[in-house]
Amino acid sequence: MQNPEGVECRMEFKGHEIRAFSSWTQEARLYVDGVCRDRSIRRVSLRKTRILSTNLRIGNDEYHVEVFAKALLSVRLQLRIDGRQVAGEVF
């Protein structure tokens, strides 16, 4: 979802809410179930760049959650779990 303050990408994965937020001027943040799991002040570039990541353990299984960002005229986000895009924009 694009808004004047930045962009947010969210999804539900096996009963857990995953949400990422980034903008040109604020730090990017990755939340799992409302808890901030990673943050970065890295500037979003013209190339697709991984800006956030965390691991999510569900029972005996562990999943690697990554947030990629790219910016030209606006910030675009993409959520990946174990390398597979699950939410956000295709770029």
pLDDT digits (tens, 9 = 90+) for 54-78: 999 999 999 999 999 988 778 889 9
Indicate if the pLDDT at residue 2 is higher than 60. no
pTM of the entire predicted model: 0.86
Task: Please give the C-alpha separations between residue 57 and each of 16, 32, 51, 74, in angstroms, as whole numbers.
Answer: 10, 11, 20, 32
Write b or e for each residue in 39-78: b if 16 or more Cβ atoms lie within 10 A of its Cβ, otherwise e. ebeeebeeeeeebbebebeeeeeeeebbbbbbbeeebbbb
The answer to whether 11 and 18 are in contact (CB under 8 A) is yes
Delimit the domains of the chain by residue range: 2-88
Q: How confident is the model at residue 43 (pLDDT cuts 50, 70, 90)?
A: low
Mean pLDDT of the region 3-20: 88
